[in-house]
Structure 1
Amino acid sequence: MNMMSTSLDIERIREQFPILHQEVNGKPLVYFDNAATTQKPTVVISALENYYKGINSNIHRGAHALADQATTAFEATRLSIKDFINAKEVEEVIFTKGTTDGINLIAATFGRAFIGEGDEIVVSTMEHHSNIVPWQMLCEEKGAQLKVIPLNAKGELLMEEYEALLSEKTKLVAVVHASNALGTVNPISEIISNAHAVGAKVLVDGAQSCSHLDIDVQALDVDFFVSSAHKIYGPTGMGFLYGKRQLLEEMPPYQGGGEMIKTVSFEGTTYNEIPYKFEAGTPNIADVIAFNEAIHWISQVGKEAIRAHENELLAYAHEKLSAIDGVIFYGEAEDKVAVVSFGIQGVHPFDIGMMLDARGIAVRTGHHCTQPLMQFFGIEGTVRASFSVYNTKEEIDKLAEGVAKIARMMA
């Protein structure tokens, strides 16, 4: 059996990820927790080191050479993100701490300015807590109402039910592009067009989709799109928010401080233009600059080739795990990213995770910050194996061997 994808040299790719070449509990590391965070190629790690060794300086306000170099590198990442998601203008890209920060920014600005008593916000049953709790807080503050799109047993949104939820009261639809817990890819274009038909705006949580799917915010006509660098081979603590220019200009600032102002006096303050209006204080300069290397790395490997390899792994994992007595799958949507969520009948997911870890296999266990989704399935949690371009079929064989052994032991 050919253990590698035919279109990519996976061994060469793996050589670029230093963390993969180690032992855990005396076994070669098998890293299947990519939906939580992907590993970082050497070019990203080197970019962090090179920034601190060579151009460490604050940006935008300095007149000296280091400040100029740091500013140029920082803003180059904004331009790369614009191209990565096909935003119309570079000013529509706001740097954040990550997806959660981006959602909270929208809740604190667009939400407080444009959502009032009696208005409605629509989310789905499969949302991450970060796309539920900010809206619950806003609804409580404003007297608005949260509506929830239900699912079918395969983990797919019930689109007829969604359309029935929409009305002139709907001000925002906030929905995940690809589920972190199930891998389900939602019909975002349809969701957006239906929301726009009643005058609602749409926020898409792209934390899981950006590393797998081609993103074109203009083609989608999405109003807001948020994602995190650390799930796209980049550093932690950094992400971005895309918003349509008109909306960003109408929204009040998120935080006050340096950079987000034009003038300050005790009589009053005037705010800066976008994107700087939403970027108060010294930003995460090093990680923003390093994220540019991650984007370039993805472009060089090719998203289409990455996706083909990951889909091959997904199908292979499903085939291997399906052959094991007692394995139960959660989320069998027709359209998925490379996530397999499963359990073993009668075995707690934490126990499965610990026993796999003893074999050097890193998976995620629990509710995956999607407790309402787990309640829908009537379970405490799942075991989630999520794949990336540097994973192999040989590693999936090790996972299947481990799961089969656990299933026999616990039967």
Structure 2
Amino acid sequence: MATESKEYTMPDAAARASQASEEFETEKLDLSVGPSHPSTHGVLRLNIQLDGEIIQNCDPVVGYLHRGDEKIAENMTYNQFVPYTDRLDYLAPLANNAIYAIAVEKLAGIEVPERCQAIRVLTSEMARVSSHLLGLGAYTMDVGALTVFMITFTEREKLYDLFEELTGARFTTSYTRVGGLLKDMPDGWMDRVLKFCDEFLPLLDDVEELLTRNRIFIDRTADVGIISKEDAISYGLTGPNARASGLDLDLRRDAPYSGYEKYDFEVAIGENGDCYDRYLVRMVEMRQSIRIIRQVIEKMPDGPYRSEDQKKIILPHKDKTLTSMEELIQNFMITTEGPQIPPGEVYFEGEAPKGALGFFINSRGGGVPYRMKIRGPSFCNLSILPKLMKGCMVSDIASILGSLDFVMGECDR
């Protein structure tokens, strides 16, 4: 006897959230995920209310890592605060250093040399690749792809070797200074960067072969954690998370700084705004960063790596400090009192790997800022979690958090 077959369509996340409560009288379960759970990528806590396996409510709790960086800035000279910018997004300190220095330079009216700008772009794009490698490795490990984690961390270590050779540190680099850089690039360093680029792209192809058509990875990420373009704008999302939702915004192209307008690159834009699109956008961004790095090295100008004409702001060269009384006094005054920045206010934001990183500085003159406010992109990106998690399954938590690629250092400033 033939039976009539009926098509079944999976209800969307919002429908699942209300369906269970309408059909069954169930007891809600309150569950705390974190702040020490590995899938929360740092000290993030999620207070979740469950109806079976379906998330009814999600309340993110931040602040466990709070250090008061903005208040610390009021008691430090402008250059002394550079190491604290390392510890915002501590996965991309070179990018943080440059954006902070540009904000102070705008307030002081300093124009840095072209070589300094080019090196900042070069190191910022290397930091973007490094940050995306860690984010991708941790994300895929959360959903079960351990092999990708091994590949990405191996490549990230190669970048750290290059960072160490350039700055003297692997992790917290503190490379940028107000008005320039700590030092110039060592001989042959750019050749080693190009060698990394040549070896990296084939490995990125291998990662794509492992993930992009992987049935398990697609099932865990496609149509999961969908953020609409309107929601991305409403919640202040920036960076890859916003671009994956179709928001065509990249500060490197739309508000160029440090000479980004000289380089040819494409901005990756997604369509669906789900976890899978956020993965695809970051994969394209790494390829575009390599493209920018090669252009910077090809066009690298000669000249000084720092401004030389701001005597009350820029530290003198070490050899002059040790041989000239005037430079010694200048070094002493800038070191003890800080670079003398004129009164005023400035806000500058740049395209960091996690999104738009901004610094608002209020100066009343002197070597210490009167007030400083930092816009951490991870803090804004996490604000959408209560809406994003509702109606999802418990197994989706790791996929969604990994796809957002946040870091608690800049969230808990």
Does TM-score exceed 0.5, indicating one fold? no
Range of TM-score over shorter length: under 0.3
TM score, norm. by length of structure 2:
0.25
Larger Rg: 2
TM score, norm. by length of structure 1:
0.25
Richer in helix (by share): 2
Richer in strand (by share): 1
